[in-house]
Amino acid sequence: MRRKALRSRLAVHGTRLLAVATLIGGWQLAASHWIDPFYYSKPTRIVERLHDWFTEGTAFGSIWEQIAVTLQEAVLGFLLGALAGVVLGILLGRSRFLADVAAPFIKAANAIPRIVLASLFVIWFGLGMSSKVATAFVLVFFAVFFNAFQGAREVDRTLVDNARILGAGRRQVLTSIVLPSATSWILASLHVAFGFALIGAVVGEFTGADRGLGLLINNAQGTFDAAGIYAAMILITVIALATEWGLTLLEKRLLSWRPGASHADAPA
């Protein structure tokens, strides 16, 4: 039994490695003989560019500085946006009246192509970090808000009634029933939300910045440096994956009470 499982895992990993090797090898080969590496770049050039960045730095300072700036903007926008989304989502989710009043405004605001606000924010806040934080904020807020709103709305009525009969006041119902109930909805949106925060920070930097990974991409575009664009993409992907992993750990911890999360067997 265990050997079979081991063999299938090896098969899966093996096939993955094969696929990656084929892709990269094929790309390298194609770019060396048939397609123009000026437009499409090749793996060796990308590795070179990354190597340069990490050893000699970029045109705007050390690569670590760029990463730090983009990360800071994303994290700040994420935290602020998530907080605002949760608070407003739960508030409106529990108050029928407020929800009805705000509904058309929220619909309208949601229809605006949010990414375009980045340009507005550069005019408002300048080229510094705040305009990027604002862009990230706006993207994160709507994602988290709708989930928190839905989660607060869908709290099981029986749980609320039961708590009231046991003696819970309004505030106690909110903290002990509504909030934990909505948590799985909120956590679900946080994964997507951090991705948005990163996008917001990078696009904000595209639009106008003095430092950051988005600026590197913009600069690479301007100097026809395809390898540079790929290199920056790789860095952003690594950051996104690392935070995704961290968030999944957090989620597992907070949602350990869910069925399937634990392996303890129920005695009869």
Partner 1 sequence: MRATAQVPAIEVRHATKRFPTRSGEYTAITDVSLTVQPGEFVTVVGPTGCGKSTTLGLISGLTTATDGEVRVNDRPVQGIPEGLGYMFQTDAVLPWRTVLDNVAAGPRYRGTPRSEARAAAADWVARVGLAGFEHYHPHQLSGGMRKRVSLAQTLINQPATLLMDEPFGALDVQTRGNMQDLLLDLWSGSGTAVVFVTHDITEAVALADRVVVMTAGPATVKDVIDVTLPRPREVEEIRLTEEFLGMYRRVWDSLREEVEITRARGANRAA
Q: Can you read off the two tokens belonging to residue 50?
A: 């990354």
Token pair listed for 64: 């670590």
Positions in 219-258 near partner 1 (CB under 8 A): 256-258
Cβ atoms 191, 244 nearer than 8 A: yes
Between 127 and 159, CB nearer to partner 1: 159
User: Contact letters (x/-) for partner 1, 132-151, by CB under 8 A?
Assistant: --------------------
Exactly one of 22, 62, 95, 172 binds partner 1 (CB under 8 A); that residue is 172
The least CB distance from residue 172 to partner 1, in Å, is: 6
Selected binder of partner 1 within 1, 5, 108, 268 (CB under 8 A): 268
Per CB under 8 A, the list member of 102, 159, 188, 233 interacting with partner 1 is 159
Interaction of residue 264 with partner 1, rule CB under 8 A: yes
Label residue 136 exposed, middle or buried (CB < 10 Å: 0-12, 13-18, 19+).
buried
Q: Which helix (H) or strand (E) holds 106?
A: helix 96-111
What is d(CA 24, CA 46) in angstroms, rounded to the nearest whole number? 11
For 174, residues 6+ apart whose C-beta sits below 8 A from its C-beta are 90, 94
Q: Can you tell me which of 164, 191, 192, 233 binds partner 1, judged by CB under 8 A?
A: 164
Nearer to partner 1, 62 or 172 (CB): 172
Selected range binding partner 1 among 23-31, 77-85, 96-104, 259-267, rule: CB under 8 A: 259-267
Q: Which is nearer to partner 1, 95 or 172 (CB)?
A: 172
Q: Looking at 180, 188, 191, 240, which residue binds partner 1 (CB under 8 A)?
A: 180
Residues that bind partner 1 (CB under 8 A): 158-159, 161-169, 172, 176-177, 180, 183, 256-260, 262, 264-268
